[in-house]
Amino acid sequence: MIRDSHNRQQLAERLKVNPITLTRWAAGTSKPRPEKLRVLLSMLSTQDREQVVASLSQDYPSHTLQEDTSIYVYEIHPEFYHRVLSTYATLPSSLREWSLNILIIQQILAHLDPREHGMAVFLAYCTPPSPEHPVRSLRKVLGRSTSPWNYTDEHSTQFFGAESLVGQAVLQGHPLVVQSRQEAAWLLSDDVPSLAESICAFPLLRANQAAGSLCVMSTQTRFFSSSCLDLLQKYVNLLVTVSDHESFFQLEKIVLGVIPPLEIQLPMLQLVQARVMQRLLQATSQYHFLTKQQAEHMIWQEVEEEFLNLNDVERVSQPREKIEGEKLR
């Protein structure tokens, strides 16, 4: 790991030691102090961490190699704040928000699920409305996960409305937590991921405006302790800080509709990029200048409208008894 001079320098900077010190530790001529050792272990992948712990088990008591639960376990490490500020200061505005969102989401995943028991984290932003409508849905724009989920596909997306936990978090203006699948029965939607045992959603709020929600799902029941939720709120505050002003909408202008479940969305979502290209070709044939971003914006609004209308049609076709039952849930 430290044979590469660049890696050695980066590791030394994060540990706040001289690179020569790392070489001495590796050679066995000196030993790291327990607090430095715990910080070092926290930086390693699960596989590397297990190998290092095994090799050091004869020289250190087992409790020394355990994570220090009193320092940084439920706090954001100061080094990460430095990384966020440095990234914010150096990246161009066109890349800043997206890159920082990825950085923060990856850190949440590494912080809360270092042993990769199973966690998914995603951001759902308010879908920018047309002038005649309020905000009527959220759309997943970015996600990361550990096994058994796969949230690395940048083109993977999903719409959410008032039926969802992320939608309700925005509408109610505070975090919502479901600690078990039994507790999820109050949701208007049955579209709860089959592998998720506990879920929480935090609205991205700035004064009287909202940009969307952060959602975290765990394969473990009752994963979200009060300390864990406090930690997530700190990460949400970071996300709000780095978000563009244009991402936020007045709370009174957010009136979410009801969106159909993912299995109904998928066939239409898979055609989005083809529709974008068709719209661009159509604009070109009419000698009308249209950027890809503008075309995507138009198509997403159209898809949102189709989902909202589709759900309305389904509700109208349901027996009256079923609709009344839904209202009572």
Give the residue from 222, 253, 284 where a domain finishes. Answer: 253
Q: Name the strand (E) or helix (H) holding 322.
A: helix 320-328
- Measured at the CA of 276, the angle between CA 270 and CA 278, to 5 degrees, comes to 110
Can you give 250-304 as a three-state secondary structure string?
EHHHECCCCCCCHHHHHHHHCCHHHHHHHHHHHHHHCCCCCCHHHHHHHHHHHHH
Residue found under tokens 């969802």: 164
CA atoms lying within 13 Å on the CB side of residue 91: 17
Token pair listed for 215: 């959602």
Token code pair at residue 247? 């991402």
Amino acid sitting at position 232: L
Residues 133 and 229 in one domain: yes
Structural domain boundaries, residue 16: 5-65
Is 70 contained in some domain? no
Asked if 227 and 276 sit in the same domain, the reply is no
73 domain-assigned: no
Question: Do 229 and 88 sit in the same domain of this protein?
Answer: yes
Q: What percent of the chain has pLDDT over 90?
A: 52
Could you tell me if 305 and 223 lie in one domain? no
Q: How many domains does the chain have?
A: 3
Question: How many residues are listed for the chain in this entry?
Answer: 329
Q: How many CB atoms lie within 10 A of CB 200?
A: 23
295 and 225, same structural domain? Answer: no
pTM for the whole structure: 0.73
Say yes or no to pLDDT of 326 above 70.
Answer: no
How do residues 109-152 score in pLDDT, each as one tens digit? 999 998 888 999 999 999 999 888 999 999 999 999 988 877 66
Residue 182 confidence class, pLDDT cut points 50, 70, 90: confident
232 plus 214 within the same structural domain: yes
Averaged pLDDT score across all residues of the chain: 82
Q: Which CATH number characterizes residue 200's domain?
A: 3.30.450.40
Question: Quick one: 188 and 220 in the same domain?
Answer: yes
Strands 138-145 and 119-126: antiparallel
